Structure 1
C-alpha cells in the first residue's frame, strides 16, 4: 500500500493527513457489510467510503467477482 497526502475540510479548517487508500472489490449486495466493518475499524469519525459502479469489464473477471463475493 502506498501512502498519499490528503487535504480536506474538517470542523471549520483545512486539514492535511498522510493516509493509505484501500480499494475493496465486491458485489453491491455486500456494501452494507463492508461499510459496517470499515466504520468499526477505522480511526476516522467519517472515513471516505464510496461505491463505484462497474460500467464495463471483462466477462471472465465479472463472473469471478460475482461468484467469489457470494459468501458461500
Structure 2
C-alpha cells in the first residue's frame, strides 16, 4: 500500500486513472481533502491536499514509484510504501492478479 497526497482533485484523478490503466496499481482510493501542515524550504506551509491510497504488489513498487514521481506535479511528492501484514486472501489475490509483473 502506497500513501501519496495530491495537490488537487484533478491531479488525484489523473494519477489514479493512469496507475490503474497501466496496471501498476489494482486500485487507488481518492480520499476526502485534508489539511496538511509541513516544513518546506525553511518555512511552515499549509495546504489542502487529496490523499491517495494505492494498492499494488511489492515487486511492482519500483516501477510504480518511478511512474508516480513522473506524474506528480510536486518537486518532492510524498510517496510512502506501507507493508500489508494481512488481508482477505481473495482480495489480496485480486490485487496481485490486477498488477503487471515486475518483468512487464
Report the TM-score, using the length of structure 1 for normalisation: 0.87
Higher RCO structure (Cα 8 Å, ≥6 apart): 2
Determine whether 1:45 maps to 2:97. no
Determine whether 1:10 maps to 2:40. yes
The aligned counterpart of 1:68 is 98
Determine whether 1:25 maps to 2:55. yes
Quote how far apart the aligned CAs of 1:27 are. Answer: 0.2
Q: Which stretches in structure 1 are left out of the alignment for 5+ residues? A: none
Return the alpha-carbon distance in structure 1 between the equivalents of residues 100 and 75 of structure 2. Answer: 29
Determine whether 1:55 maps to 2:85. yes
Q: Which has the higher strand share?
A: 2
Aligned pair count reads 72
Q: Which stretches in structure 2 are left out of the alignment for 5+ residues? A: 1-29
Report the TM-score, using the length of structure 2 for normalisation: 0.63
